[in-house]
Amino acid sequence: MSSPVPPRTDPISSSLTPAELAGLLEFAVHLADLAGAQILPHFRTRLLDVENKDRQGFDPVTLADREAEAAIRREIQRTYPTHGILGEEHGLQVGASPYTWVIDPIDGTRAFVLGQLHWGTLIALNDGTRPVLGVMRQPYTGETFLGSEQGAQLRRGSQTTRLSARAGVRLEEAVLCATDPLMFAAPGLRPAFERVAARARAVRFGGDCYTPCLVAAGSSDLVVEADLKPWDVQALIPIIEGAGGIITDWAGQAAWEADKVVIASGAGLHAQVIEALNAQD
């Protein structure tokens, strides 16, 4: 059995002053609100325009995705014209600044298309070394999860709640969450996932960006994902870490460029999962 790799838990930090960071975080919330204004008129309507991006599967994109990302990009270009932008629908726009906004207008488009609630808008700001702030906005429920080195919060209407992940949970007590079992179809992934699942209390599928935020909120404890892109994960990192949770790749290293991640509510649980993922059958 391999030894678990110590997790990369470098504190979220940047050269930004606290005031600058707070201002950029509020701007990210503003971007998510703009996206929500574009998205909500399309949600749970019979006229939803859906296109499949994957000829061998189902990877939907909607007019709402494209309109929301376009609105976000326009506002970034107007307010921070030197910043870069990386988005799911329109790719990378390189900026003169080291800062890049990483955006997914609707993370969980399948859930969105089906009228389910486990989707949201993801906004991150990367300073060239790591994401320093992140926002997940679910406009239908009115929830905004946000995180930075200053901590993590949930905003709902006029109420703001500081988030704190649960500590001391062991794998045998945790419910393992993942978005889709098909994420683990690549060679070697399913046996690794099943080693974790065999030790967990139960397994639940579905959730996309919503379940990781529930780890930050202390409602869930464990998420294991694969087949991710930067816009799927970067906004979640400051939220999870700001709440005291841990997010790494499957080797226990930095997650912001990873396609496979582990999100755990505490260090002990994280170590158990990394060990199980990397064990030899």
Residue set of the binding site for Mg(2+): 88, 104, 106-107, 232
For 79, the 3-state DSSP assignment is helix
What angle, 0 to 180 degrees and rounded to 10, lies between the N-to-C axes of helices 267-278 and 189-199?
Answer: 130
* Residues 6+ positions from 81 with CB-CB distance below 8 Å: none
Q: Mark the binding-site residues, compressed into ranges.
A: 88, 104, 106-107, 232
Residue 250 token pair: 């499957």
DSSP 169-191: --GGGPEEEES-GGGG-STTHHH
> Which stretches does DSSP call E strand in 201-250?
202-205, 222-225, 246-249
Rounded to 5 degrees, what angle do the CA atoms 277, 148, 158 make? 115
Closest CA to 103 of 68, 130, 78: 68
